[in-house]
Amino acid sequence: MSLDKLINGCKARDRKAQEQLYRLFAGKLFSICLKYSRNKTEAEDNLQDTFMTVFDKIEQYSFKGSFEGWIRRITVNTVLQKYREEGVFDIVPDHLQEDVPVDMDSDAISLDYLLKLIQELPDRYRLVFNLYVLDDYSHKEIAAMLSISEGTSKSNLARARMILKDRIEKSQLKKKTESI
């Protein structure tokens, strides 16, 4: 079935079409949820909320623009909305830092490990890091989405980088010492 037919099926609230749409996009959207959430359970909740929103709002989708882009935006917004409600977006002032090089053996770093590192970041740093580094939003857009200033966005990003770098290098060190 073509995507357009699926979308029309979902507009008609056809359960089969909804399920197939879920199966088609769950992989991509769940990965987004995992990046932005603190852990797997929270990610699952966010995914569920995301799809409820998608199925609800799909009647507004008028086939203009990429469907995948549309649902990705919904996903990110759903997660951010959750954090907004929790009051995560408080001002955390900080000094500016550029992108930092990190000493490590990139072959030995697995995605699962990096995901864990991201999830363990403080909420706001995680959100900013994801939005900027992994989802290519600009600081201006991030500032609007999180209701913070651009400066805050930049400093949060810098902080996130620092923390990640530290943790990666520490783990590398740990490995090196363990292998001795």
Contacting another protein (CB under 8 A), which of 63, 144, 147, 173?
Answer: 63
Site for another protein in 38-57 (CB under 8 A): 40, 43-44, 47-48, 51-52, 55
Q: Which of residues 144-173 bind another protein (CB under 8 A)?
A: 161, 164-165, 168, 171-172
Cβ-in-10-Å burial (0-12, 13-18, 19+) of 31 comes to middle
Q: CA-CA distance, 73 to 128, in Å (whole number)?
A: 15
Please, how many CA atoms are within 13 Å of residue 35, restricted to the half-sphere of its CB? 20
Q: Are 47 and 30 in contact (CB under 8 A)?
A: yes
Residues 76-115 that bind another protein (CB under 8 A): 99-115
Question: Of these, 38, 57, 60, 67, which contacts another protein (CB under 8 A)?
Answer: 67
Closest CA to 61 of 125, 11, 106, 14: 11
Q: Which residues bind another protein (CB under 8 A)?
A: 1-4, 6, 12-15, 18-20, 22-24, 26-28, 30-31, 34-35, 40, 43-44, 47-48, 51-52, 55, 63, 66-68, 99-116, 118, 129, 133-134, 161, 164-165, 168, 171-172
